[in-house]
């Protein structure tokens, strides 16, 4: 199991106090995703959308990594092969736990993007629709997050890495949103072993060779400890 690709979603950050999307009390039970997480919603009401992400940025800054994030950082340090974390999460909890190989396919809440020139920079705590881009001056700034209807980041590179994986692990994601929900099929088709770690069986659970149910803060450290013990 030298080459491991790990996909994760909101479930890995749930115990850090950051809400999930589709569980009871999830963000999409309180907000209309069409209004706050689409380019059309942003065009209609940029103040509402910036406010939504300003609140999420504040939550992110106030949260701390949990035992699942820490275990994945340990895995990256101690595993003799390659570890890549592909996250759908826009928080920075993996980085703060010490992981370095982290690809944010849905962007990062702590970064800002200019829709006019493509420049990216560290987002201030509060973004507003008329903020000028520090590079070109256009008032076209937005959070550097991928909205519904937009293409996730790094797709070509991620798909390549999935085809090279010996093991694909999915943690804390409902398997509801493509293209991430299709990663298990791609990795399995290319010969990878597959494992799901989730509170409950996800929508794509049947595609995995093995599934384990429970909280990420327990399942992930246990899985990492078992894997590292076998590598000795
Ligand atoms: N440990 C493990 N899994 C958990 C935990 C936990 N403590 N708490 C919740 N879960 C599981 C839930 O059972 C659910 O299957 O995490 C999953 C979270 O699913 P979603 O809320 O759908 O979040 P996610 O899969 O990350 O959503 C994908 O949709 O709207 C978007 O862009 C957003 O990146 C996000 C994408």
Q: How far is the CA of 20 from the centre of ligand 1 (A)?
A: 5
Q: Work out the burial of residue 230: count CB atoms within 10 Å of its CB; fewer than 13 is exposed, 13-18 middle, 19 or more buried.
A: exposed
* Annotation marks residue 106 as catalytic: yes
Rounded mean pLDDT of 22-46? 93
Q: What is the DSSP string of 169-208?
A: EEES--S-STTGGGHHHHHHHTT-EEEEEESS--TTGGGS
Q: Whose CA is nearest to atom 25 of ligand 1?
A: 173
Q: How far is the CA of 211 from the centre of ligand 1 (A)?
A: 16
Find the residues whose C-beta lies inside 6 A of ligand 1. Answer: 9-11, 14-15, 20-23, 26, 88, 106, 172-174, 176-177, 198-200, 202, 215-216
Per-domain boundaries in the chain: 1-17+65-106+152-232, 19-62+108-145
**CATH pick for 1-17+65-106+152-232 out of 3.40.50.800, 3.40.50.620, 3.40.50.1220, 3.40.50.720:** 3.40.50.1220
User: What number does the ligand 1 atom closest to the CA of 146 have?
Assistant: 32
Supply the pLDDT for residue 85.
98
Rounded mean pLDDT of 54-83? 97
- Convert 30-48 into a string of H (helix), E (strand) and C (coil): HCCHHHHCCHHHHHHCHHH
Q: Residue 3's beta-bridge partner residues?
A: 82
Residue with tokens 């962007």: 107
Supply the pLDDT for residue 125.
97
Give the chain's end-to-end CA distance (angstroms, integer).
13
Which tokens hold the place of 177? Answer: 């949103």
Which among 57, 231, 71, 85 has a CA at the least distance from the CA of 143? Answer: 57
* Each residue's pLDDT tens digit, 195-212: 999 999 999 999 999 999
Which tokens hold the place of 2? Answer: 């030298």
Q: How far is the CA of 136 from the centre of ligand 1 (A)?
A: 37
Q: How far is the CA of 131 from the centre of ligand 1 (A)?
A: 32
Residue of 88, 108, 172, 184 best suited for mutating to test ligand 1, as the one with most atoms within 8 Å of CB: 172
The pTM of this model reads 0.97
Rounded mean pLDDT of 54-77? 97
Q: What is the DSSP string of 96-162?
A: HHT---EEETTEEEEEEEETTT--EEEPPSS--TTPPPTTT--S-EEEEEPPTTSPPTTHHHHHHHH
Supply the pLDDT for residue 193.
98
Q: Whose CA is nearest to atom 23 of ligand 1?
A: 10
Q: How open is the CA angle 22-42-133, to the nearest 5 degrees?
A: 120
CATH superfamily of 19-62+108-145: SIR2/SIRT2 'Small Domain' (3.30.1600.10)
- Cis ω for the linkage preceding 179 (within 30 of 0): yes
Q: How far is the CA of 173 from the centre of ligand 1 (A)?
A: 4
Say yes or no to pLDDT of 59 above 70. yes
User: What number does the ligand 1 atom closest to the CA of 26 have?
Assistant: 21
Rounded mean pLDDT of 177-194? 97
**Residue-averaged pLDDT of the chain:** 96
- Between 22-36, 89-103, 154-168, the lowest mean confidence (pLDDT) is in 22-36
Q: Work out the burial of residue 39: count CB atoms within 10 Å of its CB; fewer than 13 is exposed, 13-18 middle, 19 or more buried.
A: middle
Candidates 69, 94, 104, 106; catalytic one: 106
Which tokens hold the place of 40? Answer: 């059309």
């Amino acid at each position: 199991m030298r080459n491991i690709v790990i996909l994760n979603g909101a479930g890995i950050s749930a115990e850090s106090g950051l809400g999930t999307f589709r569980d009871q009390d999830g963000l999409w039970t309180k907000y209309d995703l069409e209004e706050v997480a689409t380019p059309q919603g942003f065009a209609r009401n940029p103040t509402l959308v910036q406010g939504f992400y300003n609140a999420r940025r504040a939550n992110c800054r106030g949260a701390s990594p949990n035992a699942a994030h820490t275990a994945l950082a340990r895995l990256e340090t101690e595993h003799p092969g390659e570890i890549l974390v592909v996250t759908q999460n826009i928080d920075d909890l993996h980085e703060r736990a010490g992981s370095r190989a982290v690809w944010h396919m849905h962007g990062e809440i702590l970064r800002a993007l200019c829709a006019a020139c493509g420049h990216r920079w560290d987002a201030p705590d509060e973004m507003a629709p008329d903020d000028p881009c520090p590079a070109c001056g256009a008032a076209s700034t937005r959070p550097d997050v991928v909205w519904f209807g937009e293409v996730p980041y790094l797709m070509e590179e991620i798909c390549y890495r999935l085809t090279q994986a010996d093991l694909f692990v999915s943690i804390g994601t409902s398997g509801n949103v493509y293209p991430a929900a299709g990663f298990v099929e791609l990795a399995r088709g290319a010969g990878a072993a597959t494992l799901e770690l989730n509170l409950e069986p996800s929508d794509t659970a049947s595609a995995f060779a093995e599934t384990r149910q429970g909280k990420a803060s327990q399942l992930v450290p246990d899985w990492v400890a078992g894997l590292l013990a076998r590598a000795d």
